[in-house]
């Protein structure tokens, strides 16, 4: 007649008091493991980067949030055309720009906007307009050269006192656009 409560052990389990072991096993350990996994993921695999300006338009809109993968051994993992997150000592900021010059490259920017790398025209379908800048760079070994895609709206290596960024200052590679949602997706 007791129906579902014929087994008294089930009834005892339901009425057990909340113990430290139970809280530890059911709450602290599972949530602690999740927090640890997130911390390790952000520390060693990927991180979020905020892009406050329009210097990378049209590829990355102003006020965007991107996911960037951590860079290990940049000399093997950074290619010309990659969008890289790096620390600028000169500006005291974390920046997101496109890699134009690799170590040892000779980069020439013509007034019309064409970019030549080691004497060959470098196609840049992503570059937005041109601002009339012309100049030449010889990238030292162990350093990289970065420009924004929105050339008229980007304060980049063309205007810095020291245009070259050392390999150890490269932090990550921008791979996925989270925000704004109308641009959500993989970064090309």
Which residue is listed with tokens 């969008």? Answer: 83
> What are the helix (H) ranges across 15-122?
20-23, 29-44, 74-77
Positive or negative torsion for Cα 18, 20, 24, 27 = positive
State both tokens at 99.
């890699």
136-168, pLDDT tens digit by residue? 999 999 999 999 999 999 999 999 999 999 999
Q: What is the pLDDT of residues 51-79, one digit of tens each?
A: 999 999 989 999 999 999 998 888 889 99
Backbone angles phi, psi at 27, to 5 degrees: -125, -55
């Amino acid at each position: 007649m007791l129906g579902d409560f014929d087994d008294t052990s089930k009834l005892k389990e339901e009425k057990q008091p909340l113990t430290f072991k139970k809280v530890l096993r059911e709450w602290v350990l599972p949530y602690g493991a999740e927090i640890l996994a997130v911390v390790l993921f952000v520390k060693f695999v990927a991180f979020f980067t905020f892009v406050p300006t329009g210097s990378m338009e049209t590829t990355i809109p102003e006020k965007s949030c991107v996911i960037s993968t951590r860079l290990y051994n940049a000399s093997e993992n950074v290619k010309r055309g990659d969008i890289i997150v790096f620390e600028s000592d000169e500006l005291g900021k974390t920046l997101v720009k496109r890699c134009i010059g690799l170590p040892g490259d000779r980069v020439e920017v013509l007034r019309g906007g064409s970019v030549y790398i080691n004497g060959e025209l470098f196609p840049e379908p992503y570059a937005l307009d041109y601002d009339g800048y012309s100049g030449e760079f010889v990238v030292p070994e162990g350093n990289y050269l970065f420009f924004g895609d929105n050339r008229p709206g980007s304060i980049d290596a063309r205007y810095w006192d020291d245009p070259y960024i050392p390999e150890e200052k490269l932090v990550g590679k921008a791979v996925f656009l989270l925000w704004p949602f109308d641009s959500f997706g993989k970064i090309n």
